[in-house]
Amino acid sequence: MVPALLAVVGGGLLTATLNVAGLRVGATPAEIVLWGAAGVLFARVFSVGALVIAVPVLLAGIELAAGASGPSSPAEAGDPLTLAFPDERRLELTQLVFAAAYGAWAQRFGLRAGVTCVALGAVLLASVARDGQLPVVTLLGLALLLPNADRLGRLLGGE
């Protein structure tokens, strides 16, 4: 837990410094460290097997019920809740946090961590490429649950 906490602090300091210097896109790598480590901390704090299933299903239900197929209005430059990429592409930080949390849960609970992390990364890359026109949170949940479908029963105590 200490390495993730140090990554949050270090990433936060670098992000703040680069943003103050006006280097918004340049701050993105530090923000990835910051919010990825925050997702790992989230997974560590909420390390309950049933949440591995409940959180992705709940978030996907909320996203799909809201009709979220992308942002209602494009993110503006300097939006603190997005990560900036070249060509005005953006990634919402909540997507990165949950991707990191899902990857950490896959590792923690003995799921197929390698396949899961590759799928999570592919969803994030597709989101940036499509500039937020995908139901990313739903796809992240599928990237966690589908490769591990045969192993999820034991998380609920069904072994």
Question: pTM to 2 decimals?
Answer: 0.85
Mean pLDDT is highest, among 15-24, 77-86, 127-136, for 127-136
Q: How many Cα atoms are found within 13 Å in the side-chain-facing hemisphere of 32?
A: 10
Structure tokens at 83: 């990560």
pLDDT at 103 over 50: yes
Query: pLDDT at position 76, please?
Result: 56
Residue-wise pLDDT tens digits, 11-65:
888 888 887 887 777 778 888 898 999 999 999 999 999 999 999 999 999 998 8
Give the mean pLDDT of the chain: 86
Q: How confident is the model at residue 77 (pLDDT cuts 50, 70, 90)?
A: low
Query: pLDDT at position 78, please?
Result: 57
Q: Where are the beta strands (DSSP E) in 3-92?
A: 82-85, 89-92
Name residue, tokens 């390495």.
3
Describe the chain by its helix, strand, coil percentages, rounded to 5.
Answer: 70, 5, 25
Pairing, β 89-92 against β 82-85: antiparallel
